[in-house]
Amino acid sequence: MLHLMPRRLIDPPGLGVAVSLDEALQAELSRAQVRYRVATGLWETIGRGRYVRAAALATIDDEWKRREVRHAALAASAASALPGTVVALESAALVHGLPLLFAPRSVELVAPAGGWTGIRRGARLHGLALGEGESMALPPRDGPALVNDERVRVTTPARTWFDLARTRPLAHALAVGDAVLRDRLCSREQIASAATQAANFRGCRRVARALPLLSPLRESPLESVSYAEFVDWGIPLPELQVTIHDEEGFVGRVDFLWRDARVIGEADGAGKYEKHGVLLAERRREQRLRDLGYIVVRWTWDELMNEPWKVRLRILRALHAAA
The pLDDT-based confidence of 273 (bands split at 50, 70, 90) is: very low
Which is more confidently placed, 270 or 40?
40
So what's the pLDDT on residue 286? 85
pLDDT digits 0-9 by tens, 212-228: 999 999 999 999 999 99
What is the rounded distance in angstroms from the CA atom of residue 276 to the CA atom of residue 299? 20
For residue 64, which amino acid is it?
A: W
- Domain coordinates in residue numbering, the chain: 12-57, 63-213, 221-322
So what's the pLDDT on residue 5? 47
The domain defined by 221-322 folds into Endonuclease; Chain A (3.40.960)
Contacts of 143 (CB under 8 A, 6+ apart): 17, 56, 59
For residue 301, which amino acid is it?
A: W
So what's the pLDDT on residue 55? 85
Question: SS3 for 115?
Answer: coil
The contacts found for 43-48 with CB under 8 angstroms, 24 or more apart, are: 43/19, 46/18, 46/74, 46/77, 46/122, 47/77, 47/78, 47/81, 47/121, 47/122
pLDDT digits 0-9 by tens, 11-50: 999 999 999 999 999 999 999 999 999 999 999 999 889 9
- Bridge partners of residue 256, in order along the sequence: 240, 265
What is the rounded distance in angstroms from the CA atom of residue 145 to the CA atom of residue 17? 6
pTM: 0.89
* Mean pLDDT estimate for the chain: 90
Is the separation of the CB atoms in 290 and 318 below 8 Å? no
The pLDDT-based confidence of 246 (bands split at 50, 70, 90) is: confident
What is the rounded distance in angstroms from the CA atom of residue 152 to the CA atom of residue 213? 32
For the cut 80, the answer to whether the pLDDT of residue 88 exceeds it is: yes
